[in-house]
Amino acid sequence: MDNEDGTFLVDAYCIEALSNNPKIPLTASHLLLWAMLHGGDYNLGGLLGCGSQVSQALLAGNLGDSLMQVMTSAMPAQLPGMLRTWHDCLCTVLVDGTLGRKYPALAVSIPGDFPSVDIMCLYLSPVTTWSDGTSSSSLPQFGPTQPDLMYLAAFCKACLS
């Protein structure tokens, strides 16, 4: 927000503060589950019918941790079966009342291929991040360069007068 004094205020959140929240800790596994349920950059709609209230209630359990465990430890051949088991656990939690309310209509509406492995892989290994220090050979590598001041001046003169 632009303040009256011309400065901008920004709320910055660090993972340590979020993961130590006593109410609901937001770890990487919670954020993955939230993105799959509620939606995010790679999963715009999220799970149809699963609003923020249900998504937040599901974060309180261990579904996020178990989903992350499946995605980070399962061999490719094991992944479909393990995700099917996780999917069944999600449906059980939605209908057994542990969330303080039952959501049977949501449970039966969840597609059999939820959650999408491809979308979760995009969240867990985004193209813009190479945490192991390597780079993707499929993307061009750009090094730091000095700006082309002549081109920049010509552009500013032409476009900004």
In tens, the pLDDT along 75-112 reads: 999 999 999 999 999 999 999 999 999 999 999 999 99
Is residue 72, in this structure, part of any structural domain at all?
Answer: yes
Judged by phi (left if over 0) then psi (alpha if -120 to 50, else beta), residue 39 lies in left
Is residue 148, in this structure, part of any structural domain at all?
Answer: no
Global pTM reads 0.68
DSSP assigned state of 114: P
Question: What angle, 0 to 180 degrees and rounded to 10, lies between the N-to-C axes of helices 28-38 and 52-59?
Answer: 150
Q: Across 17-21, 142-146, 148-152, which has the greatest mean pLDDT?
A: 148-152
Is residue 161, in this structure, part of any structural domain at all?
Answer: no
Residue 150 in this model has a pLDDT that exceeds 80:
yes
Given pLDDT bands bounded at 50, 70 and 90, which one contains residue 2? Answer: low
d(CA 33, CA 53): 14
Is residue 4, in this structure, part of any structural domain at all?
Answer: no
Residue 84 tokens read as: 């099917």
Is residue 11, in this structure, part of any structural domain at all?
Answer: no
Q: Considering its fold, how many domains does the chain have in total?
A: 1
Residue 135 in this model has a pLDDT that exceeds 60:
no
| Structural domain harbouring 64 | 28-130
Is residue 14, in this structure, part of any structural domain at all?
Answer: no
